[in-house]
Amino acid sequence: MIMYMDPESLKKEVERRALDKTDQEIVEKALVEGVETAWDRLEKQQPQCGFGQLGLCCNRCVMGPCRIDPFGGEPKRGVCGATADLIAARNLLDDLMVGAAAHSDHGREVLEVLMETAEGKGQGYQILDEEKLNLVAGEYDIDVKGKKKEAIARELALAMLEEFGTLKNKIQLVERAPEKTKEMWAKAGIVPRSVDREIVEAAHRIHMGVGADYINILLHALRTSLSDGWGGSMMATEASDILFGTPVPVEALANLGVLKKDEVNIVLHGHNPILSEMIVQASYDADLKKSAKKKGAKGINLVGMCCTGNELLMRHGIPLAGNELDQELAIATGAVETMVIDYQCIFPSITETAKCYHTKVISTSEKSKVPGATHIEFKPETALDSAKEIIRQAIENYPNRDANRVKIPAGPVKMVAGFSEETIRKALGGTYKPLIDAIVAGSIRGAVGIVGCNNPKIKQDYGHIMLGKELIKRDILVVETGCAAIASGKAGLLLPEAAEMAGEGLKAVCKALGVPPVLHMGSCVDCSRILMLAANIAKELNVGIEDLPLGGAAPEWYSQKAVSIGAYFVASGVYTVLGLPPKVFGSVNVLDLLANKLDGVVNAAFAVEPDPVKAADLLEAVIEKKRKGLGI
Ligand code: SF4
Ligand code: MSK
């Protein structure tokens, strides 16, 4: 553990790690108290393996591990004969497939809860959005007339669960894409056939000796990503909306300042809202409130972290403590009684961090157990009971808090979230015409989806915030999900007043509508909402998504899920700029395909640009090119 004794170095290190002032306060506290965080672990990993970074390391079979000389010398092939191109392409498909699996398995779990709710077995669950239930059921040719909502939900859950199988060979929600985009996919041979099929086939294709053509492997990567974006993730979003309600604009607070000095603080961290929704319900329980008071607390304070946080924010206005790199910082405030984890993006060492304080980590998914955590397994039939038990344990832990070690930064920032595709469309009068008119008139040049994570290789939130500010200044509307959206919340960009930072055209539109220039559209799986926004605009114009003045960016991405998201953006025709390089730079051919040749297949490509201003230049240039293509 590095100790920063001299104040100058400490200040420098704190400012190098995080952009947000409240985060900086706790980064400093963690450094002073010697609490290890991801930044320290990154430092201990230096120098990171160059072969790994270039994608030239293969550990796929026991003839290996193998590595290829990046300078063209020997070895040029692995023991099996695989080249740099094949190894890099297979590694990329491996990452992407894992990301697609994570999103899609999350979707499947929400559908299973929808099913159990429809059958009256889910404890505490209700079907809250009947309008969406009926609309989506219609897409699956389910006759809704005269049927109870539970009966419709059961049929729909079954039909959607079938999308995961291998017999149908067709994902219904892919039909939501514009005709031209679907034709583009058909021509490229990347129409996804089913969620599980593409993922399992990806796993098959990366086995030793299954194909040596990197192009063929990368085309399947695109198809797998589409089965996530237009399949698993989209179903996760739709089923969550049906169960818990489609988000509408909601005011809330963000940053570590949402933790409370005199209340029982419970941080809900991960991705899947199915248990945390029940924790929200349980937190209204009068008996639990009473027991919190008995223990000396004024109340129960639920706060969100990462995408479970985004889900709860979007539907209930639950305050957000932060994004990925805040998970350890939240504990380091010394004020967290319980961190409840479901899955994805949870540091495996989170229980080690918790040991430095009184915090209790409670795991809830059979898939995601962590040594040192208390496991209270989530099951839909007993969801509310489990939720109450979790809160009870947090209350019990309150007296163990050491007031002398508590530091909660002051001043949470206000934000507005809840911009689902439906909400945006309804706010515009049921059609995208006003937005299209503003784009045609040039007051809005186009839109960019900024998504993805934090990564300790980049100052926390710096990439998101600098790029967001740069784009809105250029009259480019920004829509966000995941940790990018949380970063913007902390920085005050999710407020209507932030329109003052936008160019004249975008500012006027935001002011007229009373909306922020950066719209929070939800969690990572809700990147599907961005796809729907693009698809519905394209359909009104009778063009493909690939023709629209749009862009995507993942300035601080780290996860395999982000690989899948980036790929389905590109496969859907959206040019996407990454702030950190994917592990493919050891293959000139793979790089060339991703950065240049894909353009001829899906009318979009990847770029890598860590500098936010230069990234904005790249995105603006593509937006202007697409405007020209549309004759505007
Ligand atoms: Fe080496 Fe080939 Fe095995 Fe990879 S699959 S570890 S390159 S022998
Ligand atoms: S939580 S995938 S760190 S956005 Fe969705 Fe954040 Fe990335 Fe996880």
Same domain, 216 and 257: no
pLDDT for 161-204, tens place per residue?
Answer: 999 997 889 999 999 999 999 999 999 999 999 999 999 999 99
Ligand 2 and 86: CB distance under 6 A? no
Ligand 1 and 210: CB distance under 6 A? no
Ligand 2 and 559: CB distance under 6 A? yes
Instruction: Average the pLDDT over 221-237 and give the result.
Output: 98
pLDDT of residue 168: 87
Same domain, 383 and 451: no
Instruction: Average the pLDDT over 113-118 and give the result.
Output: 98
- Between the CA of 330 and the centroid of ligand 2 the distance, in Å, is 16
Determine what percent of the chain is predicted with pLDDT higher than 70: 99
* Closest ligand to Cα 84: 1
Query: Residue 394 CA to chain centroid, in angstroms?
Result: 27
* Closest ligand to Cα 311: 2
Instruction: Average the pLDDT over 24-42 and give the result.
Output: 97
Which residue pairs from 352-361 have beta carbons closer than 8 angstroms and sit at least 24 positions apart in sequence?
A: 352/36, 353/35, 353/36, 353/37, 353/328, 356/33, 356/35, 356/331, 356/332, 357/331, 357/332, 357/402, 357/405, 358/334, 358/397, 358/400, 358/401, 358/402, 359/331, 359/397, 360/393, 360/394, 360/397
Nearest residue to 224 via CA among 111, 102, 108, 308: 102
pLDDT for 261-312, tens place per residue?
Answer: 999 999 999 999 999 999 999 999 999 999 999 999 999 999 999 999 999 9
Q: How many domains does the chain have?
A: 3
pLDDT of residue 166: 78
The answer as to whether 507 is a domain residue is yes
The answer as to whether 365 is a domain residue is yes
pLDDT for 313-358, tens place per residue?
Answer: 999 999 999 999 999 999 999 999 999 999 999 999 999 999 999 9
Same domain, 400 and 450: no
- Ligand 1 mutation pick, 56, 57, 60, max ligand atoms within 8 A of CB: 60
- Ligand 2 mutation pick, 561, 564, 578, 580, max ligand atoms within 8 A of CB: 561
End-to-end CA distance of the chain: 57
Same domain, 368 and 445: no
**Averaged confidence pLDDT in the chain:** 97
State the pLDDT confidence band at 377, using cuts at 50, 70 and 90: very high
E strands present in 535-612: 550-554, 575-578, 606-608
**Helix or strand (DSSP H, E) at 414:** strand 413-417
* Ligand 2 atom, smallest distance to 306 CA: 1
Same domain, 302 and 286: yes
pTM of the model: 0.97
The answer as to whether 99 is a domain residue is yes
> Which residues form the domain of 439?
418-630
Tokens 């959607």 belong to residue: 160
pLDDT of residue 410: 94
CA distance linking residue 612 with residue 34, whole number of Å: 32
Give the CA distances from residue 620 to residues 352, 477, 547, 549, 612, in Å, rounded to whole numbers and listed in that order.
44, 11, 15, 9, 12
The answer as to whether 62 is a domain residue is no
Instruction: Average the pLDDT over 511-536 and give the result.
Output: 97
CB 463 within 8 A of CB 450: no
**Helix or strand (DSSP H, E) at 436:** helix 433-441
Instruction: Average the pLDDT over 138-160 and give the result.
Output: 97
Ligand 1 and 58: CB distance under 6 A? yes
Give the residue from 196, 216, 244 where a domain finishes: 244
Ligand 2 and 345: CB distance under 6 A? yes
- Between the CA of 57 and the centroid of ligand 1 the distance, in Å, is 9
The answer as to whether 393 is a domain residue is yes
Check which CATH number belongs to the domain holding 264 and give it.
Answer: 3.40.50.2030
pLDDT of residue 198: 98
Same domain, 232 and 271: no
CB 89 within 8 A of CB 217: yes
pLDDT of residue 71: 96
pLDDT of residue 632: 94
* Ligand 2 atom, smallest distance to 557 CA: 7
Same domain, 436 and 542: yes
Determine what percent of the chain is predicted with pLDDT higher than 90: 98
- Between the CA of 104 and the centroid of ligand 2 the distance, in Å, is 15
pLDDT for 418-472, tens place per residue?
Answer: 999 999 999 999 999 999 999 999 999 999 999 999 999 999 999 999 999 999 9
The answer as to whether 585 is a domain residue is yes
Same domain, 218 and 313: no
Does the structure show a pLDDT above 90 at 403? yes
Same domain, 584 and 452: yes
Same domain, 234 and 259: no
State the pLDDT confidence band at 3, using cuts at 50, 70 and 90: low
Same domain, 514 and 593: yes
Does the structure show a pLDDT above 60 at 17? yes
Ligand 2 and 306: CB distance under 6 A? yes
Check which CATH number belongs to the domain holding 203 and give it.
Answer: 1.20.1270.30
Nearest residue (CA) to ligand 2, atom 3: 453
The answer as to whether 131 is a domain residue is yes
Nearest residue (CA) to ligand 1, atom 3: 61
Same domain, 237 and 258: no
The answer as to whether 18 is a domain residue is no
Give the residue from 244, 268, 285 where a domain finishes: 244
pLDDT for 553-571, tens place per residue?
Answer: 999 999 999 999 999 999 9
Ligand 1 and 203: CB distance under 6 A? no
Instruction: Average the pLDDT over 399-406 and give the result.
Output: 98
Does the structure show a pLDDT above 90 at 152? yes
Give the residue from 214, 244, 274 where a domain finishes: 244
Nearest residue to 64 via CA among 46, 81, 48: 81
State the pLDDT confidence band at 516, using cuts at 50, 70 and 90: very high
pLDDT of residue 4: 53
